[in-house]
Structure 1
């Protein structure tokens, strides 16, 4: 009787561990729209190309005038404060570079508005052609499709 109980107990434990493993695996991401994903990734690349090169005039064209930028450590910033923050970084920390973590970005459409982009990016120090001292952080960008093109209307930056 003890042997039967032990076998049943091990069977239950085995089944539970298989079930837990099967359902704890995150499903792989497949874009709802490859075209939308590619568009947002292109805009993201242009946005942070401007940021990484310190081109504030180009960078500020990627944000709506009613921008809300939520940062877990710094709080809420509007359009002007965000532009000022990017300007300060470009002036005082021009060695800072933003790099996306490969495979971390997901893009989903928002009906009659635009898209939401989530992911993880790193901010690193560029020194002698190498990226060092990288910190990884999570982000959410809400992109609005406007008559002037795709613009970010909301940012959530967290995990600092």
Structure 2
């Protein structure tokens, strides 16, 4: 099952990369709105360094793929967030979704796939630094709760 999801993500991402850009229209507006809300919950928690919310938003079986840091599980992902928050107490580290980049695709019987671009911004040596990256998140709807089960962060 895990390999099928990863294959689907890779195919989807490659199609998005090579396809001619056309205006994105969500197949399911209510699902789009729900996942956009979950994205904001996740990253409001990131921006406020609220580890308790992040622990709930990420599934305990999450796999976090980062082209700059490898693959991590839930425990390591949470440990990495805590270290990042500690390291960036004074830098103003925050995440902003790139306007118009969010796309949401239904995954019947499981949840949804979210694709987009975001910026991570912080101050370093008195200067604002900005890094823009692409991401893919697989959201699972289970027992009335949305959780991120797979995260792919690209462009480090």
Cα distance in 1 for partners of 2:109, 2:63 equals 20
The answer as to 2:62 corresponding to 1:50 is no
Q: Which residue of 2 aligns with 1:96?
A: 93
Q: Helix, strand or coil: the match of 2:100?
A: coil
Q: Which residue of 2 aligns with 1:108?
A: 105
Q: Which moved more, 1:88-97 or 1:78-87?
A: 88-97
RMSD of aligned alpha carbons = 1.6
Work out whether residues 143 and 154 of structure 1, in 8 Å CA contact, stay in contact via their aligned partners in 2: yes
Q: Which has the larger radius of gyration?
A: 1
**Could you give the per-residue CA deviations for residues 131-151 of structure 1, whole angstroms, max 9, x where no partner exists?**
931110000000000115100
Structure 1: where are the runs of 5+ without partners? 1-23
Structure 2: where are the runs of 5+ without partners? 1-18
TM-score, L = length of structure 1: 0.80
Cα distance in 1 for partners of 2:32, 2:94 equals 23
Cα distance in 2 for partners of 1:100, 1:82 equals 20
Alignment of 1:36-47 (within 5 A): 36-47=31-42
Aligned length: 134
